[in-house]
Amino acid sequence: MRPLTEICALLDVFKQQDPNPGTELFYKNAFTLLVAIILSAQSTDKGVNKATPALFAVADTPQKMYDLGLEKIKEYIKTIGLYNNKAKSIYEMSRILVEQHGGEVPHDREALEKLPGVGRKTANVILNVWWNEPTVAVDTHVLRLAERLQLSDGKTPLSVEADLNKLPDEYRRHVNHWLVLFGRYICKAQKPDCANCPITRFCSCKDKKI
């Protein structure tokens, strides 16, 4: 793992390019954001964004989603991978939000993680995006790049999150988005675009193409 000062210097490059990054998922409110995050598991944001506008047009609250019913939810999201299981999670989550939380998404990690389809990463994303908390969500991009760029010595999402949580809040607030976008468009797993990499001076990877 690099020294924190060096990690901050690396992240400063992203900060200069995009000081206020955000999710590429389409959403209208906290509930639709939560649904979109659940749908994005093992799926692309682009694929999710193709399906959700029609769904959110008819069901943008827990009550509306619950009233829509399981089978109709499936119809709206059938182009998304694992849609059967995701539909069940969204339907049950909506029911619980209506019955136990007054139809509101709870601003509480423990309560969020008790919802169907919501794990630590999903909770971290919604706390970060909707409530602007400096929580660090570790997905496959973050896990891969944390190792590649020596941002962490961890091998698991929790250990990588613990290392990145040592960063000052101003970096923790955006580090997930910076790394996701960087991993999605530049430092791709199969063919990293090293020629257009803004942090090449920090990279010592063996497969570096510069």
Name residues whose C-beta falls within 8 Å of residue 116's C-beta, 6 or more positions apart in sequence.
Answer: 88, 89, 90, 92, 93, 96
Q: Which residues of 25-47 are buried (b: 16+ CB within 10 A; e: fewer)?
A: bbbeebbbbbbbbbbbbebebee
pLDDT at 52: 97
Catalytic residue among 15, 60, 139, 153: 139
**Banded model confidence at residue 208, pLDDT cuts 50, 70, 90:** confident
Q: What is the C-alpha separation between 82 and 43, in angstroms, rounded?
A: 9
Catalytic residue, chosen from 45, 121, 153, 191, is 121
The answer on pLDDT for 210 being more than 70 is no
pLDDT at residue 157 greater than cutoff 70: yes
- Supply the pLDDT for residue 109: 94
DSSP, res 73 = H
Tell me: pLDDT of 131 over 70. Answer: yes
What tens digit of pLDDT does each residue of 35-47 get? 999 999 889 999 9
- Tokens at 9, concatenated: 């210097």
pTM metric for this prediction: 0.91
The confidence score (pLDDT) of residue 206 equals: 77
Half-sphere exposure of 94 (CA within 13 A, CB side): 23
Supply angle C-alpha 83, 140, 33, rounded to 5.
50
Mean pLDDT, residues 141-148 taken together: 94
Percent of the chain whose pLDDT exceeds 70: 100
Q: Is the Cβ–Cβ distance between 165 and 136 less than 8 Å?
A: yes
Residue 208 annotated as catalytic: no
How confident is the prediction for the chain on average, in pLDDT? Answer: 95
pLDDT tens-place string over residues 53-81: 999 999 999 999 999 999 999 999 999 99
Indicate the pLDDT class of residue 29, thresholds 50, 70 and 90. very high
Q: What crossing angle do the helices spanning 30-40 and 120-129 adopt, rounded to 10°? A: 140
Residue 107 has pLDDT above 80, yes or no: yes
pLDDT over 90 at 21, yes or no: yes
Active-site residue, 121 included: yes
* 3-state DSSP helix/strand/coil % of the chain, to nearest 5: 60, 0, 40
Give me the pLDDT at residue 184, please: 93
Largest Cα–Cα distance of the chain, in whole Å?
56
- Average pLDDT of the segment spanning 147-165: 95
* 102 has pLDDT over 90: yes
Cα 78 from Cα 81, distance rounded (Å):
8
